[in-house]
Structure 1
Amino acid sequence: MRSSIPSILSTLAVASSALAAPTASAAAVETRTLDELHQAALKEGGVVTLWHGGDEKYQQDGLKQAFEKRFPGMTLNSTVDLSKYHDTRLDEQIAANNVYVDSIVLQTLHDYPRWKDQGVLMEYKPQNFESIAEPFKDADGAYYGYAIFGWSTTWNTQKYNGALRDFKDALKPELKDKLILTYPNDDDAVLYAFDLVIKTLGVEWFDSLLTQNPTWVRGSATPGTQLSLANTSYVATFGTGGRSGGGIVNTTRPTDAPFVTWPQTAAILKDAPHPEGAKLLHNWLLSDEKLFASPQWTVRTDAPSNFPNIFEEKNTNVTGFREFMLDRANVERVRFWFETRLGTAQGLSPLEDAL
């Protein structure tokens, strides 16, 4: 019998009640067009301050450029940092009654119900709110998913010509000393990824992985960046995200254990200094022109027929990460299980490592 990490599973009732209120509020869905919202935002000052979770400063540069190009005269001030640090700083703003952030997009899904209960989130329903899948949104519009994120298996095809897909593939002898992985005890989404694998393949798999002598780093984007560089010996990573690597990096989804997906979730602060700008940003993020530009997983249920349906993916549970995050006692227990084997996460913040 395989051993497994001790855990306490959140009940479905707890997870469901934390996500959405039993009945929707009477607030109407936004009826203004993007052009009308644009004009309102310009009159307000033409600024949006966004705090976005992430682990490399460049990660939302594309969003800023696309938004400002689409809406001339607007400025999107986007700050990227680890969500576990953003939420603490936001709590400080709330406590001091000095909220200067308009919009948040964070990985810490457990924070949203708490902030709603505190009454610090704006209950606002952007266009297409009714088309967002029910598990991805608060019924009152306090928060909602706008995109589906997920982890994959990634390798450099110029450094390795073998087959890499499943988590067991990481145990191949030729990959010894050539794996680069994110500390699971430093990122809750990576923690969840490792927890899922061990629940499926057993602690024996993790013990074997350690004998491969992988390099452990901070930041989910760091492994993909490092293995794409010609002057490193790293070949593969899994359970993380990252940039494409200029066509020399291949990605795939494993089949021997579940992989992680979740709805990246957004909210507007009730005391946002630029509410019209934030509304413009959120309506655009959920618009047809933004979400349906190319086939991909989406939070909306009315996607074109050629779009993949995240709920039909057999090897991932897109609502599982939220349930995991809501059970903070279990998260801490699992985190320290890994920390006893790996030690505390070492190295600079991924925002300061110059990668």
Structure 2
Amino acid sequence: MGYSLLLSLLVLAKATATLAADTVTENRSIDDIHKAALAEGGVVTCWHGGDEKNRQDALKEAFEKRFPGMTLNLTVDLSKYHEVLIDDQLTNDNVFVDSAILQTVHDYARWKDEGALLNYAPNDFDKVHEAFKDADGAYYGIGVFGWRIAYNNKKWTGDPIQDFEDFLNPELKGRIVSTYPNDDDAVLFAYDLIMQKYGKEWLDKLIQQDVRWVRGSITPQTLVANADAKEAATFIGISPSLGPDVNTTLPTDAQYVTWPQTAAILKKAPHPEGAKLLHNFLISKEWLFTSPKTTVRTDAPADYPDIFKTPNTNVTAFGPWIADRERVERLRFWFEKKLGTPQGLSPLDDDL
């Protein structure tokens, strides 16, 4: 018996290792699934959370190269927008999305309870960590995301920026960029964790640093890496590699955010075989074991970091936190009172 993160609840509950009676357990090879997906039409439609339209181009390219004849119709948008449009499809019985891969991890248990998800255990489902998957295969993590500190050493030549408290250095005034915490739940969680360590006084001091507040969680690291932008540092960065001029690090003075980006197949998906092919690929060794990085699998090579042994983060904490919608909304409005409503276009609407 293992533990499964029930994302709509606030606890970790024991889950049996026995799959539900209606769970489809994959026993075909990935090449056989490919043949079935081609016979179905060779198409899969996936909605992926993110805030830059081309953010998942590498996935589309790799999938279509690996599976000739397949087309991955991939739409990247903010998870909070995807979720409400999926709810509309479910309400109107007009499902046209096959696969949903979102940051709003609390949605999945709700959709499962509504009977909207396909209980499906891909190949190597048993290799996905128990904390990242529903016991019946309705949803599962396909990658571990999180925020890290990033600063441009060409634009900042002072002491290394390694912790959240370093952002209060007076010499950084006017050179810090952050996503509005009231515009992205994972960013909001980051601020919540920092203030649990340093209190609201930390935020008041940060605001006095003349932070550039932006929309989109990729925007801060993009500005930091941009030689023509004055912004030199952020703690809302997702990529460990932003070029030779940018240093990235994981903070040690307070907890930082990590979460399992989670995937599910809609039960009424118009291309179920295409969706199964995509999901098998997403948790496969050939996709996940391309370079040492944190992974949802338990059988990673020795040089891959283990997120459960990584200090200063709790990868299972985001699910219960985001599921407490009353608290999240109160905190969002508290920040809105402090910072105002998010201003400017989303990166999905305009180029930087």
How does the TM-score come out when normalised to structure 2? 0.94
Is the Cα contact below 8 Å between 1:224 and 1:243 reproduced in 2?
no
Q: Using a 3 Å threshold, how does the CA distance of structure 1 residues 271 and 39 change in structure 2: closer, same or farther?
A: same
Shift in Å, 1:20: 6.0
Shift of 1:132: 1.0
CA contact (8 A) 1:106 1:264 kept: yes
The answer to whether residue 188 in structure 2 is matched with residue 191 in structure 1 is yes
- State how far apart, in whole Å, the 2-side matches of 1:83 and 1:20 are: 27
SS of aligned partner of 1:114: helix
Are residues 1:165 and 2:162 paired?
Answer: yes
CA deviation after TM superposition for structure 1 residue 290, in Å: 1.0
Distance 1:248 1:116, change over 3 A: same
Alpha-carbon offset, residue 334 of structure 1: 1.1
Distance 2:241 2:279 in 1: 26
Q: State the SS of the aligned residue for 1:99.
A: coil
Distance 1:208 1:349 in 2: 26
Measured in 1, the distance between the counterparts of 2:45 and 2:58 equals: 15
Quick one: which of 77, 81, 92 aligns to 2:77? 81
Residues 85-104 of structure 1 aligned to structure 2 (within 5 Å): 85-104=81-100
SS, match of residue 101 in structure 2: strand
TM-superposition CA deviations, 1:254-276 (whole Å, max 9, x none): 00011110111000000001000
Q: Aligned to 1:146, what secondary structure does the other structure show? A: strand
Using the alignment, how far apart are the partners of 1:12 and 1:322 within structure 2?
8
Deviation at 1:14, TM superposition (A): 3.6
- In structure 2, the CA distance between the partners of 1:348 and 1:25, relative to structure 1 (3 Å rule), is same
Give 1:302 shift. Answer: 1.5
Does the CA contact (< 8 Å) of 1:20 and 1:137 recur in 2? no
1:66 aligns with 2:62: yes
State the Cα distance separating 1:245 from its structure 2 match: 3.8
Q: What is the CA distance between 1:24 and its match in structure 2?
A: 3.1
Task: Note if 1:236 corresponds to 2:229.
Answer: no
* Distance across 1 between alignment mates of 2:9 and 2:133: 16
The 8 Å contact of residues 101 and 269 in structure 1, kept in 2 or not, is answered as yes
| Secondary structure of the corresponding residue to residue 48 of structure 1 | strand
Residue from 117, 122, 131 that aligns with 2:118: 122
1:261 pairs with 2:258:
yes
Q: CA deviation at 1:85?
A: 0.4
**Is the alpha carbon distance of 1:231 and 1:11 closer, same or farther for their aligned partners in structure 2, counting shifts above 3 Å?**
closer
Question: 2:19 — aligned with what?
Answer: 24
Structure 1 stretch displaced more, 187-196 or 153-162: 153-162
Q: Distance in 2 between matches of 1:217 and 1:28?
A: 43
Say which of 36, 53, 57 aligns to 2:32. 36
Letter in 2 for 1:160: W
Comparing 303-312 and 71-80, the one that deviates more: 303-312
How far did residue 11 of structure 1 move? 12
Out of 41, 47, 53, the position equivalent to 2:49 is 53
Alpha-carbon contact 1:149-1:262 (below 8 Å) kept? yes
State how many pairs are aligned.
345
Please give the per-residue CA displacement for 1:234-256, whole angstroms capped at 9, x wherever unaligned: 10001342584433222110000
Letter of the 1:127 partner, please give it. Answer: N
2:94, 2:149 → 1: CA distance?
A: 42
C-alpha separation in 2, matches of 1:262 and 1:138: 15
Alpha-carbon distance change, 266 to 21 in structure 1, aligned in 2, over 3 angstroms: farther
CA gap of 1:56–1:12, structure 2 versus 1, over 3 A, is closer
CA offset digits 1:156-211 (Å, max 9, x no partner) = 12111230110011111110000011000000000000000000111111111011
Query: Does residue 249 of structure 1 match 2:246?
Result: yes
Give the TM-score, by structure 1 length.
Answer: 0.93
The 2-side partners of 1:198 and 1:157 are apart by 27
How far apart are the structure 2 equivalents of 1:63 and 1:99?
23
Question: How far off its partner does 1:340 sit?
Answer: 1.1
* Preserved CA contact (<8 Å) 1:15 1:326: no
SS for the counterpart of 1:322 is helix
Contact in 1 for aligned 2:294/2:305 (Cα 8 Å) = yes
The Cα of 1:227 is off from its aligned counterpart by 1.7
Which whole-Å CA distance do the structure 1 matches of 2:310 and 2:140 have between them? 21
Shift of 1:29: 2.9
Identity of aligned residues (%): 59
Taking the aligned partners of 2:7 and 2:179, their CA distance within structure 1 comes to 29
For 1:258, what is the secondary structure of its paired residue?
Answer: coil
1:58 aligns to what SS in structure 2? coil
1:313 shift after superposition: 1.0
Deviates more, 1:122-131 or 1:287-296: 287-296
Structure 2 residue identity aligned to 1:125:
A
SS at match of 2:11: helix
Residue deviations 1:123-154 (CA, integer Å, cap 9, x gap): 00001111111111001100000111110001
1:164-313 matches, within 5 Å, as 164-241=161-238, 244-313=241-310
How far residue 21 of structure 1 moved from its aligned partner, in angstroms, is 7.4
